[in-house]
Amino acid sequence: MNLTITAYLIVQGIAPLFWGPLSEFLGRRSVLIYIFFLYVSSSIVLSFSPNFPILIVFRGLQSASIASTVSVGAAMVRDISLPADRDGFYNLLQGVRNATLLVAPVLGGATSNWANFRCIFVILFALALTVLAAILFFLPETLRSIAGNGTLPLTGIRQPFIWRCKVFGKAAHQNDTLQPGKSPGLSSKEFLEPLRMLKEKDIVLSLLFSSMIYAIWMMVTVSTTSLFASVFQLKEAALGLAFLPNYAGTIAGSTLIGNLLNQDFTRACTAYKRVHSLPSSTKIPRHPLPADFPIEHMRLIRIPALLVIFIIALSLYGFTIQYQSLTSLGGWISIPLLLQFLIAAMAHAICGVHQTLVSDLWSREGCGAASVASTLIRSLFAAVGVAVVQKILLCIDRGPTFLALGLVVIVLVPVQIVQWYWGGKWRRDREAKIGNVALSSSAASV
Amino acid sequence: MGSLYEPSIRESTWSVIGRRISRRFTTLEGWREVGWGVYAMGGSNIRMFSLRHQFDTELFRDHADDVVQTANQQKEMESSQKSLSVGEFRGFDGPMVQIKSDESPGGFSIWQNEKVEQPYHVFDMREKWRLVAIVGAAGIFQALTFNIYLPTLNRIGLVSSHKMANE
């Protein structure tokens, strides 16, 4: 039922607004413990799920609890290592995530094929309980205002249980002569920071466009289950496998755009240094980039190609599953799956471009706010998309539905053109304004 | 175009990690890169498509990570680094550019003295990897919880309508 997905996505968008600041205030370990406690509790209820309303509510709770684990994990990596050493740690997190994307639908399909679908929640419960135990016993607090660089003594909930048993571990590096660290105060400003971004024209355009693309990808993904079951008579186990090309596309698209963005940045830096006749050893700071750096052009240069492939694949996709005479051909299923691969790869590449662009544009408070804001908008768009896609499919057939979505993307192309030509001007205006504010406030304080 | 073998370029883009076939498999650093990515053949060069630079909305693998830290931590971080980077303002007409200083070792020896006592973090590599492994295991659930559910949507639809009818 798409209603459960819609509820899940809405909560997933909103929850990071709270978890992010809380992890800076209560500490990473505490927040992870709360997260997994909530998750385990909601999984217990879900493994009974006696009726539909309870399924929706506790699925939402599950979503709320888990929405920020990766961000909290990345924050812990930042706590314990310098940028130069982070690559290895991030690679592990990324690899785990990619593997999960591929395993999850297969596991879900197989489970519900040969057992009750509630077994899925039992599996999730068991896994989460294991992780909760690992966190309780082994994971120390790392928030630098509380734990410093690892030497400040940890107390109470911040201390992993294993440090309390003198047999197994010692409180490794703690210097007991130091005072325990204090958590910083919590202000409502931090909760609202991501929302302040939504006042900026160029950022809103970026978020609007990429969220629309993301929502369309989500519509394709979620509708896969019902469409492929009815068109190709797949059972759940096979349906789980049918998600593989889509998620392989997700991984491929992210990898592609990660490399292209790095390449474009290096090239733009070289060009910038040549124009300003700076020595080639000059290091141009990533945050903030100089005001006359062509950020928009550097980032958006890849969009046209990605968008053309996306629109073509999307418009054709519906028709490849519309006609019985085609779909009954042997091996025909590989064609819509290939198109799904392309749709997923291009959608994630486009979203990657825009998210990088937004984090370039909002350089004031780091990238945390940019990430939270785009997750919020994306998830809300996707929630609406998932809610309506079933209705559209009922009203007009499959082919026209996805063709219409392709037309929607074409209608949105002017957004990108506006951003290409006016984005730089808006950005410089904003930065000039911020500069003035900063100047006047410092003058006032003097 | 900068030199293809300038380290910063080589590390950050895939297209220029072209290495002659002969060098790829006969030199040590060629072999070391073998595990990093997918290859494409082109002429006598093998191009490598690195899997190490992937965009991830959650992880944000650009160089922005350190910006989140407070000024205090920034200072601490800089002090623990061997090389000092000196920020320089180019006035209003020019851009703000950071220039790496090439000071002689004697130039920052005074700084180093206070730094030795304060490493950025005291955990050794084993402890750090253990921490990251737990965090990674926790991170599984974000993708798992949503995607494990997708293939079952039809069944949940059926079950829920039956239940609702029964109750």
- Interval A356-365 mean pLDDT: 78
List the single range of A124-133, A237-246, A291-300, A344-353 with lowest mean pLDDT: A291-300
Q: Residue A145 is encoded by which pair of tokens?
A: 């205002």
List the single range of A289-298, A321-330, B48-57, B129-138 with lowest mean pLDDT: B48-57
Q: What is the mean pLDDT of chain A?
A: 87
Q: What is the pLDDT of residues A104-144, one digit of tens each?
A: 999 999 998 888 888 899 999 999 999 999 999 888 888 88
Q: How many Å lie between the alpha carbon of A22 and the closest alpha carbon of chain B?
A: 15
pLDDT at res. A116: 83
Q: How many Å lie between the alpha carbon of A142 and the closest alpha carbon of chain B?
A: 10
Which residues between 378 and 407 in chain A have a beta carbon less than 8 angstroms from any beta carbon of chain B? none
pLDDT at res. B109: 39
Torsion angles phi and psi, residue B18, rounded to 5: -80, 135
Distance CA A369, CA A359 (A): 8
pLDDT exceeds 70 at position B88: no
Distance CA A64, CA A61 (A): 5
pLDDT at res. B78: 46
| ipTM for the whole complex | 0.86
The beta-carbon neighbor of A39 closest among B12, B129, B141 is B141
Q: What is the pLDDT of residues B60-78, one digit of tens each?
A: 544 443 433 334 444 444 4
pLDDT at res. B56: 63
Chain A residue closest to B81 (CA)? A82
Q: How many Å lie between the alpha carbon of B116 and the closest alpha carbon of chain A?
A: 13
- Interval B88-106 mean pLDDT: 38
Range list of H helices, A52-117: 52-66, 69-80, 86-114
- Interval A144-163 mean pLDDT: 80
pLDDT at res. B155: 78
- Interval A67-75 mean pLDDT: 89
pLDDT at res. A166: 66
Q: What is the pLDDT of residues A1-59, one digit of tens each?
A: 578 899 999 999 999 988 888 888 888 999 999 999 999 999 999 998 788 888 899 99
- Contact: A74, B81; criterion CB under 8 Å: no
pLDDT at res. A27: 87
pLDDT at res. B68: 37
Whole-Å CA distances, A21 to A186, A446, B102 = 8, 31, 39
Most confident listed range (A64-73, B37-46, B67-76) = A64-73
Distance CA B135, CA A180 (A): 24
- Interval A215-239 mean pLDDT: 91
Contacts of A52 (CB under 8 A, 6+ apart): A1, B160, B163, B164
- Contact: B60, A74; criterion CB under 8 Å: yes
Most confident listed range (A243-247, B87-91, B160-164) = A243-247
pLDDT exceeds 50 at position A369: yes
